[in-house]
Amino acid sequence: MARDINREPDPIDSWMEVTLVYNSALKEIGTKLEILNDEFQQVHRYNPIEHIKSRMKTSESIVKKLKKKGYESTIENMVEHVNDIAGIRVICSFTSDIYRVAEMIGNQNDIKVLSIKDYIKNPKASGYKSYHMLVTVPIFLSDKMVNAKVEIQIRTVAMDFWASLEHKIHYKFEGNAPEHIKNELKECARMVSDLDARMLALNEEIRSLEDNEFV
């Protein structure tokens, strides 16, 4: 019998179930991305995805986030108010790949896109660039179905390198880095943006030359 993914999901009752459901959601999204990447390679002779990273937020980190938002540390509040318990980072070679991958994810009929934040077209004040999608994917357990939220971050290799350094600096200085370091980070972000644009233009020129060879 086919399972109805449109029916109301059941609640999650324990931390063990939270771990099971969100780890399963990471596997579901990860497998979908790998299949889409393989299909793209077969059809277009090109892989838009360089690699995929996934992570589960620790219980300590979830509790800290709930306290910051003013919520009690309950399973219900975790599921309702913490959107990044499960996170996947998709690393692409070029900025054009980011939107291509995002479109492919959005076209999956069992994935529901809850929100999108485009920090590439609208970077953060720090210079941070990335494309964020908050989605839900149905997870079928033996006795119920649960809709699990997954935060997907899509960025280029260069953006990821910058974001990794910015993350380390943020925690090193607890969000209060010296002004000259903030300014240097912004300048690096500008250089990363320029590098991504030049690499994309170069790649498009190469692919154009390759296509002409088959004419």
- DSSP strand pairing (112-118 vs 131-140): antiparallel
pLDDT digits (tens, 9 = 90+) for 150-178: 999 999 999 999 999 998 998 888 778 89
Residue 135 identity: V
In a domain, 2, yes or no: no
* Structural domains in the chain (count): 1
Average of per-residue pLDDT across 32-58: 92
Q: What is the pLDDT of residue 210?
A: 73
In a domain, 1, yes or no: no
Locus of tokens 């109301």: 8
In a domain, 195, yes or no: no
Average of per-residue pLDDT across 67-73: 93
CATH number at residue 35: 3.30.460.10
Asked if the model's pLDDT at residue 44 lies above 60, the reply is yes
Active site residue 151: yes
Note down the domain range covering 142. 15-158
In a domain, 79, yes or no: yes
Position 10 confidence tier, pLDDT thresholds 50, 70, 90: low
Q: What is the pLDDT of residue 143?
A: 87
In a domain, 187, yes or no: no
pLDDT digits (tens, 9 = 90+) for 76-130: 999 999 999 999 999 999 999 999 999 999 999 999 999 999 999 999 999 999 9
In a domain, 175, yes or no: no
Average of per-residue pLDDT across 137-155: 94
Q: Which of 63, 53, 81 is nearest to 15 (CA)?
A: 63
| Cα distance between residue 214 and residue 107, in whole Å | 31
Point out the least confidently predicted range of 7-16, 45-54, 77-86. 7-16
pTM given for the model: 0.89
* 102 alpha-carbon distance from chain centroid: 9
Q: Which of 52, 123, 98 is nearest to 200 (CA)?
A: 98
Half-sphere exposure of 179 toward its Cβ, with a 13 Å CA cutoff? Answer: 0
DSSP state of 147: E
In a domain, 186, yes or no: no
Position 2 confidence tier, pLDDT thresholds 50, 70, 90: very low
Q: H/E element holding 164?
A: helix 157-172
Active-site choice (50, 151, 166, 187) = 151
In a domain, 65, yes or no: yes
Residue 69 in tokens: 């938002």
